[in-house]
Amino acid sequence: STVPSLSTVEQSSSTKIFFESYYHRLLTNPSGRSRRRLQLERQLETLGISEADKTEMRQEWMANETEYMRLMREKISVNSFLIL
Amino acid sequence: MNKTKPGIEQYCNKEGSSSKSKTAKKPSSGSSLQKQYLQKEYAQQTLGSGNLRLAVHLPEGEDLNEWLAVNTVDFFNQINMLYGTITEFCTPQDCPVMSAGPKYEYHWKDDSQFKKPARVSAPVYVDHLMSWVQSQLDNETIFPSKIGIEFPPQFKTIINDIFRRLFRVYAHIYTTHFPIIVSLGEEAHLNTSFKHFILFVKEFDLIDSKELAPLSDLIESLLAQTKNQ
Ligand SMILES: [Zn+2]
């Protein structure tokens, strides 16, 4: 038979919604990360601090982004709701 | 952690080798449907109009392993969800052997239960495959979750093994279950996911091109679309 059951149709609907919002987010420009990067640069401009301090703040920002990615990985891993 | 490389399962091209699998049945989809996924009305369906090529680039200054790790988890989840919508049709009766079209068969091998490559049904194969990937993702020494813990030196090799295996689930879905994907209206979702996967694989050189052979024509067509954007 090639007629999907109701539960398959329901699962398919939620899967499609997941993909649509995932790719909408991914393909929306600028990405969250580059938006945050711009915010940082604007902030650095207004602070009137030395280049060395700016470099340090950029490094700190980068470390936070890396940390954030690791937390995200843990989160999506735990939330994988359709384990076979 | 087990230091030996995870087993390479048998990957046989039934045209080119004198394989023992002469008795292999053709996948249940008729030959007229085999390349349905290449037809324009389906192959050009993708989600959104943004540039996926940009989305796979390593963000400036980011750690490569961290980027590989987070994307691996993403693709694993995507494939899990996509395959989950067709499990009803991927039964031991419909798919008595794991395949990617009539020319390619996959035999399962691992370090524990299957020391010799075993010819198992597609649902059993996919179940082993996804459980194996899950066990890698859950392994703290491979995918550290605590801040400050480093990835192991052989991380890239493990990533390559994971991607090589995940590709086979896409290949099975496209070559065997595409009519169901179409009837569920998932072709744009599957294409977008697979295109993203392939762009990522190409960007970081994760899968040998001969492993990609079962879907090489589709890959060519998807990548050509990206160039024309
Ligand atoms: Zn199947």
- HEC per residue, chain B: CCCCCCCCCCEEECCCCCCCHHHCCCCCCCHHHCCHHHCHHHHCCCCCCCCHHHHHCCCCCCCHHHHHHHHHHHHHHHHHHHHHCCHHHCCCCCCCCCECCCCEEECECCCCCCCCCECCCHHHHHHHHHHHHHHHHCCCCCCCCCCCCCCCCCHHHHHHHHHHHHHHHHHHHHHHHHHHHHHCCCHHHHHHHHHHHHHHHHHHCCCCHHHHHHHHHHHHHHHHHHHCC
For residue B97, which of B89, B105, B86, B88 has the smallest C-alpha distance?
A: B105
**pLDDT score, position B6:** 42
**pLDDT score, position A55:** 93
pLDDT digits (tens, 9 = 90+) for B23-57: 333 444 444 445 888 887 788 788 876 788 888 99
Residues 6+ apart with CB under 8 A from B88: A4, A5, A8
Closest-CA residue of chain B to A20: B47
Cross-chain residue pair A20–B189, CB shorter than 8 Å? yes
For residue A16, which of B198, B116, B192, B22 has the smallest C-alpha distance?
A: B192
Q: Which residues surround ligand 1, an ion (CB under 5 A)?
A: B 90, 95, 122, 176
3 state DSSP class of A74? helix
Q: Could you give the count of Cα atoms lying within 13 Å of B84 in the half-sphere of its Cβ?
A: 21
Evaluate if residue B157 carries a pLDDT over 80: yes
**pLDDT score, position B228:** 54
Evaluate if residue B7 carries a pLDDT over 70: no
Residue A24: which of B48, B87, B145 has the nearest Cβ? B48
Q: How far apart are CA B229 and CA B226, in angstroms?
A: 5
A32 vs B203, residue with greater confidence:
B203
With beta carbons under 8 A apart, name residues in chain A contacting B77.
Answer: 76, 80, 82
B192 vs A76, residue with greater confidence:
B192
- Please answer whether residues A27 and B196 qualify as being in contact, where contact means their C-beta atoms are separated by less than 8 angstroms: no
Q: Provide the residue type at B25 as one letter.
A: K
Its CATH architecture, for the domain B33-39+75-227, is Up-down Bundle (1.20)
Residues from A contacting B (CB-CB < 8 Å) are: 2, 4-5, 8-9, 11-12, 15-16, 18-20, 22-24, 26-29, 31, 33, 62, 65-67, 69-70, 72-74, 76-77, 80, 82-84
Structure ipTM: 0.81
3 state DSSP class of A4? coil
- Give the gap in angstroms from C-alpha A66 to the nearest C-alpha of chain B: 7
Residue B184: which of A12, A23, A33 has the nearest Cβ? A12
CA distance between the termini of chain B: 44
**What is the mean pLDDT, run by run of 10 residues, along chain A of 84 residues?**
87 94 83 85 91 93 91 72 42
Measured in whole angstroms, the distance separating CA B225 from the mean position of its chain's CA atoms is 21
**pLDDT score, position B11:** 57
Segment B185-206 shows an average pLDDT of: 96
**pLDDT score, position B227:** 62
3 state DSSP class of A42? helix
Cross-chain residue pair A19–B85, CB shorter than 8 Å? no
Evaluate if residue B205 carries a pLDDT over 70: yes
CA of residue B96 to ligand 1 center, whole Å: 8
- Please answer whether residues B137 and B70 qualify as being in contact, where contact means their C-beta atoms are separated by less than 8 angstroms: no
And the tokens for B147? Answer: 């801040």
Using alpha carbons, list the distances in angstroms from residue B184 to A54, B13, B49, B122. 52, 31, 22, 20
**pLDDT score, position B167:** 98
Residue B47: which of A23, A76, A82 has the nearest Cβ? A23
CA of residue B29 to ligand 1 center, whole Å: 10
pLDDT class for B1, splitting at 50, 70, 90? Answer: very low
**pLDDT score, position A10:** 94
Q: How far apart are CA B33 and CA B43, in angstroms?
A: 14
B193 vs B8, residue with greater confidence:
B193
How confident is the prediction for chain B on average, in pLDDT? 85
**pLDDT score, position B19:** 38
**pLDDT score, position B61:** 84
- Give the gap in angstroms from C-alpha B226 to the nearest C-alpha of chain A: 13
And the tokens for B185? Answer: 């209206």
pLDDT digits (tens, 9 = 90+) for B91-150: 999 999 999 999 999 999 988 888 899 999 999 999 999 999 999 999 999 999 988 899
Domain ranges for chain B: 33-39+75-227
CA of residue B98 to ligand 1 center, whole Å: 7
- Please answer whether residues B100 and B214 qualify as being in contact, where contact means their C-beta atoms are separated by less than 8 angstroms: yes
- Please answer whether residues B125 and A84 qualify as being in contact, where contact means their C-beta atoms are separated by less than 8 angstroms: no
Q: How far apart are CA B46 and CA B22, in angstroms?
A: 38
State the sign of the Cα–Cα–Cα–Cα dihedral A19, A22, A25, A28: negative
- Give the gap in angstroms from C-alpha A35 to the nearest C-alpha of chain B: 13
